[in-house]
Amino acid sequence: MEGVPLLRVEGLCLGLAGGPFLLKSVSFHLQVGEILGLVGESGCGKSLTGLSCLGLFPPGVIPLEGRVLFRDQDLLSLSTEERRRFRGRHLALIFQEPLSALNPVFTIGYQIEEVLLEHRGLRGKAAREETLRLLAEVRLPDPEVRYRNYPHELSGGMRQRAMIAMALAGEPEVLVADEPTTALDVTVQAQILELFKELRARRHLAFLFISHDLSVIQEVADRVAVMYAGEIVEEASREALFEEPLHPYTRGLLAAFPRLGVRRLEALPGQVPSPGRWPVGCRFAPRCPERKERCVKEHPELREVNPGRKVRCFRR
Amino acid sequence: MSMLVLREVEKSYGLRSFWGQGARLSVLRELSLELRKNEILGLVGESGCGKSTLARLALALEKPDRGEFYFLGRPYWRLSRQERRRLRPALQAVFQDPAASLNPRKRVEDLVTEPLKLLGVPRQEAREQAVEMLSLVGLEKELLPRFPHQLSGGQRQRVALARALITRPRVVVLDEPTSALDVSVQAQILELLLELQRRFSMSYLFISHDLPVVLYLSQRVAVMYLGEIVEEAPREVFLAGGRLHPYTEALLAAVPGKERPRRPLWGEPPSLLRRPSGCVFHPRCPEARDPCKEERPKLREIAPGHRVACHRR
Say if residue B261's pLDDT is above 80: no
Query: Could you give the CA distance from residue B287 to residue A184 in angstroms, rounded to a whole number?
Result: 25
Average pLDDT, chain B: 91
Q: What is the pLDDT of residues B68-89, one digit of tens each?
A: 999 999 999 999 999 999 999 9
Considering the domain architecture, whether residues B61 and B189 belong to the same structural domain is answered as yes
B220 membership: H or E segment, kind and range: strand B220-225
Q: Calculate how close chain A gets to B7, using CA atoms only, in Å.
A: 28
Q: Is residue B18 part of a domain?
A: yes
DSSP SS3 for A275: coil
**Per-residue model confidence (pLDDT) at position B99:** 75
* CATH number of the domain enclosing B53: 3.40.50.300
Residues in A touching B254 (Cβ below 8 Å): 186-187, 189-190
Is residue B210 assigned to a domain? yes
Contacts of B269 in chain A (CB under 8 A): 185, 187
Q: Could you tell me if B117 and B154 lie in one domain?
A: yes
Residue A2: per-residue pLDDT: 58
B184·A268 Cβ contact <8 A: yes
Q: Say if the Cβ atoms of A261 and B239 lie within 8 Å.
A: yes
A208 and A54 Cβ atoms separated by less than 8 Å:
no
User: Which whole-number Å values give the CA distances from B216 to A136, A257, B55, B94, in the listed order?
Assistant: 39, 11, 20, 18
Query: Of A186, A267, A271, which is closest to B255 when you measure between CB atoms?
Result: A186
* Residue B230 is assigned to a structural domain of this protein: no
| Pairwise CA distance, residues A228 & A38, whole Å | 11
Return d(Cα A300, Cα B232) in angstroms, integer: 51
Low-confidence spans in chain A with pLDDT less than 70: 1-2
Q: What pLDDT digit, counting tens, does each position of B273-282 carry? A: 788 899 999 9
B304 falls within a domain: yes
Residue B33 covered by a domain: yes
B45 and B225 Cβ atoms separated by less than 8 Å? yes
Q: What residues of A are in contact with residue B264 (Cβ under 8 Å)?
A: 187, 190-191, 194
Identity of the highest mean pLDDT range in A153-157, B3-7, B49-53, B252-256: B3-7
Cβ-based interface (< 8 Å): residues of A facing B: 41-42, 155-158, 185-191, 193-194, 212-216, 218-219, 252-253, 255-262, 265-269, 271-272
Question: Do B138 and B251 belong to one domain?
Answer: no
Out of B46, B184, B213, name the one closest to residue A187 (CB).
B46
Could you tell me if residue B247 is inside a domain? yes
Through-space distance between the first and last CA atoms of chain B, rounded to whole angstroms: 29
CA–CA gap between residue A62 and residue B187 (Å, rounded): 35
Q: What pLDDT sits at residue A147?
A: 95
Q: How far apart are CA A69 and CA A87, in angstroms?
A: 13
Number of domains making up chain B: 2
Asked whether residue B247 falls in the same domain as residue B198, the answer is: no
Q: Dump pLDDT digits (tens) for B132-189.
A: 999 999 999 899 999 999 998 889 999 999 999 999 999 999 999 998 888 988 999 9
d(CA A310, CA A315): 13
Question: Could you read off the pLDDT of B187-232 as tens digits, one per residue?
Answer: 999 999 999 999 999 999 999 999 999 999 999 999 999 999 999 9
ipTM: 0.86
Q: Fill in the amino acid letter for A275.
A: P
Q: Is residue B185 located within the same domain as residue B272?
A: no
Inside any domain, residue B267:
yes
Residues B213 and B271 in one domain: no
Arithmetic mean of pLDDT, B2-18: 89
Q: How far does Cα A206 stand from its chain's mean position?
A: 11
Section B54-66 average pLDDT: 95
Q: Are residues B165 and B252 in the same domain?
A: no
B172 and B104 inside one domain? yes
Amino acid at the residue A5: P
Q: Give me the pLDDT at residue A1, please.
A: 46
Residues B292 and B174 in one domain: no
pLDDT of residue B259: 62
Instruction: Give all strands (DSSP E) within chain A, no chain letters.
Output: 7-16, 21-30, 35-39, 61-70, 73-74, 91-95, 174-178, 206-211, 223-228, 231-237, 303-306, 309-311
Furthest-apart CA atoms within chain A: distance in Å: 68
Let me know: does B244 contact B231? Beta carbons within 8 Å. yes
B212 and B253 share one domain: no
Identify whether the C-beta of residue A11 lies closer than 8 Å to the C-beta of residue A66: yes
Q: How confident is the model at residue B262 (pLDDT cuts 50, 70, 90)?
A: low
Domain-embedded: residue B232:
no
Domains, chain A, with CATH or none: 7-80+210-311 (3.40.50.300)
Tell me the residue range of the domain where B214 lies: 2-218
Q: Identify whether residues B86 and B191 lie together within a single domain.
A: yes
Q: Are residues B210 and B259 in the same domain?
A: no
CB pairs under 8 A between A and B: 112
Instruction: Please tell me which of the candidates A41, A156, A193 has its beta carbon nearest to residue B184.
Output: A41
